[in-house]
């Protein structure tokens, strides 16, 4: 089941620069797309989401862009900070009634001071 794919297992970025994490999906029925951040030995922490009817959502340093025609979304972190170093999971869900979240495989981001 590869409905949500993150093709880059890792990414290294200098502190202060932009981090761009990418995600592709195959199921056009998804209504929400989410990004979770995960530190070792902790659960995924919700970061930001976007509805399928929007193309951009911004929250502080984090912006998610959605391109429905390409079935692609990306998370931009500007400026990147060392504390952002973690595994980032792209995820998706459908609206209405106890819907499960489908996760990608994750991208490990390292922000170098």
Partner 1 sequence: EPEVTQTPSHQVTQMGQEVILRCVPISNHLYFYWYRQILGQKVEFLVSFYNNEISEKSEIFDDQFSVERPDGSNFTLKIRSTKLEDSAMYFCASSENAGGETQYFGPGTRLLVL
Is 49 near partner 1 (CB under 8 A)? yes
Q: Which is nearer to partner 1, 42 or 60 (CB)?
A: 42
Interface residue with partner 1 among 28, 43, 83, 113 (CB under 8 A) is 43
89 binds partner 1 (CB under 8 A): yes
Contact, 19 vs 25, CB < 8 A? no
Q: Is 96 in the site for partner 1 (CB under 8 A)?
A: yes
Interface with partner 1, residue 93, by CB under 8 A: yes
Write out the two tokens for 15.
């502190």
Single residue of 57, 94, 108, 110 touching partner 1 by CB under 8 A: 94
> Which of 60, 83, 97, 113 contacts partner 1 by CB under 8 A?
97
For residues 75 and 77, what is the distance between their CA atoms, to the nearest angstrom? 7
CB 22 within 8 A of CB 70: no
Give the whole-angstrom CA distance, residue 24 versus residue 32.
Answer: 13
């Amino acid at each position: 089941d590869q409905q949500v794919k993150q093709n880059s297992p890792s990414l290294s970025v200098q502190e202060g620069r932009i981090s761009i994490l990418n995600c592709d999906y195959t199921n056009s029925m998804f209504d929400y797309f989410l990004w979770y951040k995960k530190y070792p030995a902790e659960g995924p922490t919700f970061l930001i989401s976007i509805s399928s009817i929007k193309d951009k959502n911004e929250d502080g340093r984090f912006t998610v862009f959605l391109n429905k025609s390409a079935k692609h979304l990306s998370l931009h972190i500007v400026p990147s900070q060392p504390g952002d170093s973690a595994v980032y999971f792209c995820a998706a869900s459908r609206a209405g009634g106890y819907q499960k979240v489908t996760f990608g495989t994750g991208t490990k981001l390292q922000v170098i001071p």
